[in-house]
Structure 1
């Protein structure tokens, strides 16, 4: 049974979400404040975290950071009333995988949960390394290295870079990235894609003379494979 940590201080909402998830066959552990959530996370084993931001004792942003320090791969879905772009960017920077604004439909939440847990079930067979010029990506260790320096990527940033390396010979539209990495049918915007591209550029391009992630205005993004134009 897949186990989900539900971090929500609104007891009625927590109960509604928990019942809906349990009806689908998932096990749930509700936590109603930040300290309780951190304790459960450190002592238990979960396949997904649903995380509110506005929590007593420790807010969701601090929790997200601590969760990522402990486990770099567990999916974290932020569920909050804060729908502003600054809150979203902060959550993504700290390692959140997705962001759902209250009020929301339980069907939408369940759809996102199923997608995250399905991805977690994929077999862990050894995969070949990806390399483009001076950057290497190791899918087995989930690390990126450029000029011998390991780059710390969040799971979503890693997934974005991996997808671009797999499709290095063509332009990739925002819609394609949304559909394959964020499930565009459930409200992912082009702005979210732009934010993550900027996050990735800051980590793999900012400190290096040769820029790898390029933009074709009006079309999308592509990787610079020693060509000035595409």
Structure 2
């Protein structure tokens, strides 16, 4: 489960973000002051920081600069009502990885979080996704097998399987899947995701004793090597 530190002093905004992220199975801690956020990050590990600019003590820019000076490399996503090009440049120069203006759609926030987490995983060398539960992916040949049997996947199905393999044993929302596999076309009907999940299931689960793709009620789907009990 990915851990998120939310540095936001507006209770309404914080509640909105926390509710949405927890529904996506993120673990979220909210802190409303800059100094407290710095201390929290120095003592505990987080996968991403969502950082407001207008805080009661420090600005988000100052928090970002201090964390980077202390060699904290966790991705930082700035949220701010300040939406001028100058403010965005200032945020990026302070060490932020992304900048999202308020008001925002939760789907866009989630997509940007997922994008930063994927970049972080890649930069940290977490790329061992080619083998799991009998599935083997050959990236050079753009093919996949399960228990040695060729799966004959289309390019889209292979991309979907790769995303599942990279995020195995994690619940994935339809929006997260669409963002990763269809390049963030959030206007796309999420029924398309369901259709392709069924295509993939027919190829990697049919005629095998143990299903790997499971439906997670209220969330989406998960690739996991055990019988779905839901």
Contact between 2:111 and 2:184, CA under 8 Å: does it hold in 1?
no
1:157 is matched with none
Distance in 1 (alpha carbons) for counterparts of 2:102 and 2:23: 21
Consecutive unaligned residues of structure 1, counting only runs of 5 or more, are 127-182, 187-230
What is the total number of aligned residue pairs between the two structures?
Answer: 130
Question: C-alpha deviations, 1:99-118, integer Å up to 9, x for none?
Answer: 10000000110111111112
The runs of at least 4 aligned residues of structure 1 exceeding 4 Å deviation read: 183-186
1:79 is matched with 79
Shift of 1:18: 1.0
Distance in 2 (alpha carbons) for counterparts of 1:81 and 1:98: 14
Distance in 1 (alpha carbons) for counterparts of 2:17 and 2:52: 12
SS at match of 1:36: helix
SS at match of 2:40: helix
1:214 is matched with none
SS at match of 1:124: coil
2:10 is matched with 10
Question: C-alpha deviations, 1:28-80, integer Å up to 9, x for none?
Answer: 11011112211211111011010010100111010000111223531111100
Contact between 2:4 and 2:47, CA under 8 Å: does it hold in 1?
yes
Distance 1:185 1:49, change over 3 A: farther
Question: C-alpha deviations, 1:88-135, integer Å up to 9, x for none?
Answer: 111111111111000000011011111111223336279xxxxxxxxx
1:88 is matched with 88
Say if 2:97 is the partner of 1:124: no
SS at match of 1:96: coil
Distance in 2 (alpha carbons) for counterparts of 1:30 and 1:119: 23
Contact between 2:75 and 2:96, CA under 8 Å: does it hold in 1?
yes
Distance 1:72 1:38, change over 3 A: closer
SS at match of 1:100: strand
Query: Normalising by structure 1, what TM-score?
Result: 0.52
Say if 2:110 is the partner of 1:110: yes
Query: Normalising by structure 2, what TM-score?
Result: 0.52
Consecutive unaligned residues of structure 2, counting only runs of 5 or more, are 128-182, 187-230
Distance in 1 (alpha carbons) for counterparts of 2:126 and 2:184: 28
Question: C-alpha deviations, 1:137-172, integer Å up to 9, x for none?
Answer: xxxxxxxxxxxxxxxxxxxxxxxxxxxxxxxxxxxx
Distance 1:78 1:185, change over 3 A: farther
